[in-house]
Structure 1
Amino acid sequence: MASTNVPNRSTSGDKAHSETLETTSADIEKRGEHNLHSAAERGFVATDRYGESLVKFDPEAERKLRNKLDYMVVPTVSILYLFCFIDRTNVGNARLAGFERDLGLVGYDYNTVLSIFYISYIIFEIPATLACKWIGPGWFIPAISLGFGISSIGTAFVRTKSAACGVRFVLGVFEAGMIPGISYYLSRCGRFGGLLASGILTLDHFGSLHSWRMIFGIEGIITIGLSIIAFFTLTDRPETARWLTQEEKDLAIARVKSERMAQTSVLDKPDKNKLWLGFWNPMVLTTAFTFLLNNITVQGLSFFTPTIVSTIYPTKTTIEKQLYTVPPYVVGAVFVVGLSLGSWRFDRRTIFMIASAPLTILGYILFLARHEARVRYAAAFLAAISTFAMGPLTNAQVAAVVVSDTSRSMAIGTNVVFGNIGGLIATWSYLPWDGPDYKIGNGINLAAAGLILIIAVGQLVWMKWDNKRRDGRDIDSELEGMTDTEIESLEWKHPGFRWRP
């Protein structure tokens, strides 16, 4: 299933490289570490100093393992994040059903209620991400899911603006810890949010709850049920997965290690230098800023699409308006899956960001330039098609431009912090007095999409330039005299590291 793989590369320092690989292979054979189980053990480096894997895997075994992981993990995580996003954005659907009227919200009160969530989310995002690494996602994710489910139910019983703000703040604390990498499911959440809300509103009541309060109550109860199931289905790491054989566990661990240059473990201990380099990385920071700009649109669509649809079709009933919010997200979900699969297949992300931005630009040009209901509704499709794909692309990007697990947790946390700053901006982009055309909100989104295009092109050019510069470096001389620990801590500054655009 696995064997020692000694690549034959022709670069500067070929002799030293060859000697290094021969020594490594000999050492591996001497220690009996040519088999898969040994390769998975802690302390074994699965790559050489050039980043080449020293272990070769059986493609068929890899395929079966990927499928098993997908079937066991993806459904639980996706459904949890589905309801995480619904619990966050269902206030937009509740607005159509009388949320503002019943709480006596006037002026900018609705925007304030939305903003409170992002304040706590931003503050607790990085601490929560690090806590997830420390506690383990198998326990942490179900626990916080339980927390935001209870918070959603609490929203069903608020009577004042202050109470609504308090519950939204607590909701942000719990949701801040959700694994940012599963933002792939944002588009599906938007789709089911409107569909579920419209279905709930066909009920006369749910216990003592009526109208918009049923949305929060029922969706919160469902979230709590899912979180309890997740305690039994999620696992922290391959070693603790009861549904993997020992051979599959070894293969899973070895595969991850073979992709991480000079790393001796899959789950390394927190290290200040790795945490810093997970943040202070040119690609992480520029990608995070891209996600900030994109999230202005993502959250703006989520919170205000029901309102925008209401202005497009003012004579429709509340349930009809809820249902009109669904089709753009259905189409958007198809494109998210397609673009994500394409990105995975070609191991490229930046080019897909560049391709997505023009559609968002066109959508908001139509919002600003035309007044016909059909044209504006079509513009919502263009925005949903392109903007939701940016979430998974940016999170995949920041995960690909770092090496260790510690740096990856910081990079993803940084990306989501920036993204939620964009969400905070979004809550103030569509102001009451700016309707029904919302020129300010649509103009902000148009400018954000334009900046995304410029940044993505700049990233692509810079990464190619820097990779070419790195090709001329003498890896052996730069690493000479360094200990394994020092080499492991170099992260993206390792001379053998290459950006993957």
Structure 2
Amino acid sequence: MSTEIEKSPVEELEHAQEARGPVDENAAATDRYGASLFTFDSVAERKLRTKLDLFVIPTVALLYLFCFIDRANIGNARLAGLERDLKMTGKDDYNTLLSVFYISYIVFEIPSNLCCKLIGPGWWIPAISLCFGIVSILTAYVQDLGQACGVRFVLGMFEAGMLPGISYYLSRWYRRSELAFRLSLFLVMAPLAGAFGGLLASGILTLSHFGGLHQWRMIFAIEGIITSGLAVISFFTLTDRPETARWLTQEEKELAINRVKSERVAQRAVLDKIDRKKLWLGFSNPIILSSAFVFLFNNITIQGLAFFAPTIVATIYPTRTTVEKQLLTVPPYVVGALFTVVLPYMSWHTDKRQIFLILTTQLVIMGYIMFLASNDGTVRYVATFFLTSSCFCMGPLSNAQVAAQTVSDTSRSIAIGTNVMFGNMGGLVATWSYLSTDGPNYPIGNGLNLASACMILILTTLTLFWMEWDNKRRDKKDIDEELKGMSQKEIESLEWKHPAWRWRP
């Protein structure tokens, strides 16, 4: 009687490669025509993917939850008397306070992501999380608008690296088709922060005091302490890359590396050294720039909701108590969280992103038409559900699209940083979209958001047609002729200009 010994994932891989020899981290993963040189066992992949989901996602999701809460809780603090206590008498003082955050947030976006690549996400993400947790605590002690602006500027400086850093970090672990859903598992914390932040603020405000702090000051102090505690823990739970993961076997490490590398045309290393040409091609990539403008327009809505949802609800239900107004902001965000996961899940199984960007924009357009067409409180409250069910899912879809359209690790790091930087320019616009003089119906703010959604629909549709056109043009090229006379280093530096490259809609 013979016994069949089950093969490990690497043995399966080596057999599929017809005895190519040991897996070499610096070996080419594709041929000169862009075809993968690896064949993977689907069962081994599924087991590895489940393990990655359990060990990689939870830490970054929790950190991003409190990152967004520490940023958006100023809207809750506003309802609890922040403007009164800081003597913010100017009609635009609150908008100025919001804008200061975005100045540093935009400026430090790309530098932070390059630091993330150089230092490693396993150290960089926990470090900046600890810093903005401490800054959030310090916000509880500001005494006037000037001090508040200073603290918010520093907060933006540290928070700038979170969204691009985590997006880049996850691209080290997951395939192109898998990334949108995994990004959604941490970006879903943005709408959940709106829901959970409202609940948490309501609970905190029921306390008589916290130490020597009262009212809105307690919100910043307590939430900042929670953030700092999670950041310290993350130094031990966040693994930098597959090679350093103690919870992966050697076979699983090699499988994780080769899965990612097999989708990178002509690249020999998963984590390449920073190269000026690759940085430029990552920034100037036409699909990256298109996605960046889409994310810019999308963030006008997302950040506008984050900062002004409590104010908008207060104008719809002016007779409710402060705690009731905080609680009414929760249901739309819960619906938004659901859609933020469901649509990227569909994207994962279809390996499509652009079409979902096109479809979701139409719900945003519908929501703002309702805001502009009716003054009825119920209609306008229902409209917020249309907005949250669609605008939040564009974050994971947009960043996944950016990651899918880049080749090397270097170009991906700057491309994601560029996408998020443009997005936060939209956040800066959002801070001035809802002015007190425009209330209570805010036709200017709602009109601006409607125009932004329409621009997204136009941009995403035109980009889809261009990608298909350019892929057909590339199909006509002679790859051997295009690469003739080039060294391996020159071929690797071609990025999206490589003749074997195809856009992935």
Question: TM-score of the superposition, structure 2-length normalised?
Answer: 0.92
The 5-angstrom pairing of residues 151-162 of structure 1 reads: 151-162=135-146
2:451 aligned with 1:441: no
Aligned AA (1:79): L
Corresponding residue for 1:230?
Answer: 234
Aligned AA (2:450): L
Q: Is the 8 A contact 1:277 1:491 kept in 2?
A: yes
Offset, 1:191 = 2.0
Offset, 1:411 = 0.5
How far apart, in 1, do the equivalents of 2:347 and 2:14 lie?
A: 29
**1:28-73 CA-partner distances (Å, limit 9, x unpaired):** 85xx53xxxx33x332001111211111111111111111111011
Secondary structure of the 2:13 match is strand
Secondary structure of the 1:342 match is helix
How far apart, in 2, do the equivalents of 1:346 and 1:379 lie?
A: 29
Offset, 1:87 = 0.4
2:463 aligned with 1:480: no
2:252 aligned with 1:248: yes
2:178 aligned with 1:175: no
Corresponding residue for 1:47?
Answer: 30
Superposition RMSD on alpha carbons, in Å? 1.3
Offset, 1:179 = 3.9
* Structure 1, unaligned runs of 5 or more: 7-24
How far apart, in 2, do the equivalents of 1:337 and 1:278 lie?
A: 27
**1:79-119 CA-partner distances (Å, limit 9, x unpaired):** 10000011011001111000111101121110000000100
Corresponding residue for 2:297?
Answer: 293
Q: Is the 8 A contact 1:5 1:56 kept in 2?
A: no
Corresponding residue for 1:3?
Answer: 13
Aligned counterpart in structure 2 of residue 422 of structure 1, from 423, 426, 432 = 426
Q: Is the 8 A contact 2:198 2:327 kept in 1?
A: yes
How far apart, in 2, do the equivalents of 1:319 and 1:415 lie?
A: 36
Identity rate, percent: 67
How far apart, in 2, do the equivalents of 1:51 and 1:486 lie?
A: 15
Aligned counterpart in structure 1 of residue 44 of structure 2, from 58, 61, 69 = 61
Offset, 1:156 = 0.6
Offset, 1:203 = 1.2
**1:385-406 CA-partner distances (Å, limit 9, x unpaired):** 0111111111011111110000
Corresponding residue for 2:174?
Answer: none
Corresponding residue for 1:125?
Answer: 109
Aligned counterpart in structure 2 of residue 458 of structure 1, from 459, 462, 482 = 462
Corresponding residue for 2:125?
Answer: 141
How far apart, in 2, do the equivalents of 1:80 and 1:273 lie?
A: 33
How far apart, in 1, do the equivalents of 2:48 and 2:203 lie?
A: 38
2:194 aligned with 1:184: no
Q: Is the 8 A contact 1:204 1:210 kept in 2?
A: yes
Aligned counterpart in structure 1 of residue 67 of structure 2, from 68, 75, 84 = 84
Q: Is the 8 A contact 1:5 1:55 kept in 2?
A: no
Aligned AA (2:13): S
Secondary structure of the 1:57 match is coil
Q: How many residues align structurally? A: 474
Corresponding residue for 1:337?
Answer: 341
2:385 aligned with 1:381: yes
Secondary structure of the 1:55 match is coil
Offset, 1:242 = 1.1
Corresponding residue for 1:308?
Answer: 312
How far apart, in 2, do the equivalents of 1:202 and 1:494 lie?
A: 60
Offset, 1:4 = 6.0
**1:224-274 CA-partner distances (Å, limit 9, x unpaired):** 000011000001111111111111111111111111111111110000011
Q: Is the 8 A contact 1:238 1:252 kept in 2?
A: yes
**1:405-443 CA-partner distances (Å, limit 9, x unpaired):** 000001000001000000000000100100001011000
Q: Is the 8 A contact 1:5 1:54 kept in 2?
A: no
Secondary structure of the 1:421 match is helix
How far apart, in 1, do the equivalents of 2:195 and 2:464 lie?
A: 32
How far apart, in 2, do the equivalents of 1:348 and 1:157 lie?
A: 47
Q: Is the 8 A contact 2:31 2:37 kept in 1?
A: yes
Aligned AA (2:285): N
Q: Is the 8 A contact 1:364 1:445 kept in 2?
A: yes
Deviates more, 1:181-190 or 1:105-114: 181-190
Secondary structure of the 2:39 match is strand
How far apart, in 2, do the equivalents of 1:193 and 1:58 lie?
A: 43
How far apart, in 2, do the equivalents of 1:292 and 1:134 lie?
A: 27
Offset, 1:189 = 2.1
Aligned AA (1:65): L
2:351 aligned with 1:347: yes
Q: Is the 8 A contact 1:115 1:427 kept in 2?
A: yes
Q: Is the 8 A contact 1:121 1:173 kept in 2?
A: yes
Corresponding residue for 1:357?
Answer: 361
How far apart, in 2, do the equivalents of 1:316 and 1:48 lie?
A: 65
Shift in alpha-carbon separation, 1:351–1:247, aligned structure 2, 3 A? same
Offset, 1:188 = 2.2
How far apart, in 2, do the equivalents of 1:179 and 1:362 lie?
A: 28
Secondary structure of the 1:429 match is coil
**1:258-292 CA-partner distances (Å, limit 9, x unpaired):** 11111111110000011000000110001100000
How far apart, in 2, do the equivalents of 1:89 and 1:405 lie?
A: 31
Aligned AA (1:146): L
